[in-house]
Structure 1
Amino acid sequence: MEKLLWLDMEMTGLDVEKERIIEVAAIVTDKDLRELASYHSVVFQDQKFLDAMDDWNKNQHGKSGLIEKIPHAPKSEIVENEICAFVDKHFTEPAILAGNSIGQDRKFIDRYWIKFAEKLHYRMLDVTAWKMIMESRYNVVFKKSETHRALDDIKESIAELQCFYDFIDGKQTQ
């Protein structure tokens, strides 16, 4: 594992059958978590999907400013092509996805972005699994700002794993 493809998506909700992707961010890091490249895009969705969001999503994505960007964003197919090109540029083998609760993002990728899914390895690095162990076993807690914007969230996921690495390496104590 020489590189990781860190990814975060914002969606209109969590139900992969009825919700849609509204933002994606990806960062390529080396195995030491140094950033090599990044990609970000808001994703256009029809107003009907925005209107159908639950109160939490309407409030969160409204407060973050994401909702107002969606009508002017590129369509999903364009964003998928861009992220595929991004992966092709930085990976010669299937990319290993990394992030918090990355399995949820992977469901949306598999459902809506088939070409992108084909570029991904079946293995994933889920920082949430690390978090569960580090908090319950070692009382190591990483405080996140929870902006629910894709690029901010993925940078925090990388920082969170670095925090856990530092603890394991004896560079940090709790």
Structure 2
Amino acid sequence: MSKRRFYWIDLEMTGLDPVNDRILEAAVIVTNKRLEPIFEWETPVFQNTEVLGKMNDWCKHHHAVSGLIDRVPDGITEALLDERLCEIAQVHFKKKNPVVICGNSISQDRKFIDAYLPLFASRLHYRMLDVSSFKIVFREMLGREFKKNNTHRALDDIRESIAELKYYMSSINPSDLALINNETEGLFTDATGDSASASGKANAL
């Protein structure tokens, strides 16, 4: 039986620019291949008042409403966060295998990981599992969307991302594939199975 595990991570930041913004909170959930949680962890990340003062109005409002700002003074440093994330990887993943991280719009989190968490970044695979890709396919091609609460707290966001992926994986059916094929004007049929059509086009070239 496969022991495949997934390293889900979410960061809350002072903004979206890894050059000028910093990490305020981090959360991790490790799941098995059935997306069942094996391990959960979260922590606020300390930033000084100067960093907090540079947040834009959107971040100031939402991080205040969520209660995150109140936790930041008691948070761990980014250096300690880097170590903890590596420790989690060491416990739950084989050392020889790069870790695939998962989440929603995970490339945004990856930018901050690369900028501020170098030890953890060195442990990661270049591939990532981005639930947002499923979101785009289901919304744009099938008119179907998973409703989220968007609390803007790291652990809540991961739980919703896992629930969202479960929703997509459990709801797709053969009729969806036919609808997607119609929406894309036969692209997937030609690429995956309609040999007569594909060979006909090839002979015409």
TM-score (norm 2): 0.80
Please tell me the root mean square deviation across aligned C-alpha atoms, in Å.
1.2
CA deviations on 1:76-135 (whole Å, 9 max, x unpaired) are 111111111111100112111110000000000001100000111111010011101111
1:6-155 equivalences in 2 (<5 Å) = 6-92=8-94, 93-155=97-159
Greater than 4 Å deviation, 4+ residue runs:
none
Query: Could you tell me whether the CA contact under 8 Å between 1:12 and 1:19 is conserved in 2?
Result: yes
Q: Give % identity.
A: 45
Higher deviation after alignment, 131-140 or 49-58: 131-140
Aligned equivalents of 2:104, 2:172: Cα separation in 1: 19
Report how far residue 32 of structure 1 moved.
1.4
Aligned equivalents of 1:112, 1:169: Cα separation in 2: 42
Query: Could you tell me whether the CA contact under 8 Å between 1:140 and 1:164 is conserved in 2?
Result: no
Q: Which residue of 2 aligns with 1:156?
A: 160
Unaligned 5+ runs, structure 2: 175-205
Aligned equivalents of 1:53, 1:162: Cα separation in 2: 34
CA deviations on 1:8-60 (whole Å, 9 max, x unpaired) are 10000001100000101111111111111112111001111100000000000
Larger radius of gyration: 2
Aligned equivalents of 2:82, 2:118: Cα separation in 1: 9
Report how far residue 169 of structure 1 moved.
5.5
Aligned equivalents of 1:169, 1:71: Cα separation in 2: 48
Q: Which has the higher contact order (CA 8 A, sep 6+)?
A: 1
Aligned equivalents of 1:116, 1:46: Cα separation in 2: 23
Greater share of helix residues, 1 or 2? 2
Unaligned 5+ runs, structure 1: none
